[in-house]
Amino acid sequence: MQTMIRRTREDLVAQRARLLAEVHMTDDELRSRAEVYALSARELSVWHTIEGIDYLLAGDN
């Protein structure tokens, strides 16, 4: 049996903010470091999660 997780837009925005706070970076800082492959394993995981959240938020419009 598959499990579906439902998240509101507000949940996703809050999760995104928490993730950025965990790595002590702004969105621009994380994006810039990702572009030059300068992220730790944890930061890379956060980056991929944020990319997914951004994808979901873009589809919510």
pLDDT at position 2: 78
Number of domains in the chain: 1
Cα–Cα distances in angstroms (integers) from residue 25 to residues 32, 33, 41, 53, in the given order: 10, 10, 15, 17
Q: Could you report the per-residue pLDDT of 6-35, keeping only the tens digit for each? A: 889 999 999 999 999 999 999 999 999 999
Domain membership flag for residue 4: no
Rounded distance, CA 20 to CA 26, Å?
6
What proportion of the chain, given as a percentage, has pLDDT over 70?
97
- Contact in structure between 33 and 6 (CB atoms under 8 Å): no
Domain membership flag for residue 54: yes
Domain membership flag for residue 26: yes
Domain membership flag for residue 3: no
Residue 29: domain span: 9-59
Q: Beta-strand (E) ranges in 1-61?
A: none
Cα 1 to chain centroid distance, Å, stands at 27
